[in-house]
Structure 1
Amino acid sequence: MNHQQLERDIEHLERVISHISAEDGIPLSYWRSRIDVVSGAVRVPAQASRIKRLNAALSALEMRQKA
């Protein structure tokens, strides 16, 4: 994945994750797999930090869904 595509993917995930809920039509497992794919392509610390925040936000949603 090239740098520009990776940045676009991270930006998209940041927008989506901040607006979804456990009750949305797309399962949280889909977003988990998207984050996992993008995290495998991370090349710089700033991207890793953004992915870490995305993981934390999605984990919180996943915990609420299980509760």
Structure 2
Amino acid sequence: MNHHQLEKDIEHLEHVISHISAADRIPLSYWRNRIDSVSGAVRVPAQASRIKRLNAALLELEKQQKV
């Protein structure tokens, strides 16, 4: 994955994760797979930090879903 596509993917995930809920029509497992897929292509610390924040936000949603 090239740098520009990776940035676009991270930006998209940041937007989506900030707007979804545990009851969203697209399952959280889909977003977990997307984050995991993107995280494998991360090359710089700033991107890794953003993925870490996305993981934390999604983890909170996943916890809410289990309650």
Q: TM-score range by the shorter chain?
A: over 0.9
TM-score w.r.t. length of structure 2: 0.99
Runs in 1 of length 4+ with deviation above 4 angstroms? none
Give runs of aligned pairs for residues 1-67 of structure 1, distance below 5 A: 1-67=1-67
Structure 2 regions of 5+ residues with no counterpart?
none
- What are structure 1's unaligned runs of at least 5 residues? none
Deviation of the 1:56 alpha carbon: 0.0
- TM-score normalized with structure 1 length: 0.99
In 1, the alpha carbon distance for the partners of 2:14 and 2:66 equals 22
Which residue identity is paired with 1:55?
N
Distance of 1:49 and 1:30 partners within structure 2? 21
CA distance in 1, matches of 2:62, 2:30: 12
Aligned residue type for 2:42:
V
1:48 Cα deviation from its structure 2 partner: 0.1
Shift of 1:40: 0.2
Give RMSD over aligned pairs. 0.2
Identical aligned pairs, as a percentage?
82
The Cα shift of 1:17 comes to: 0.1
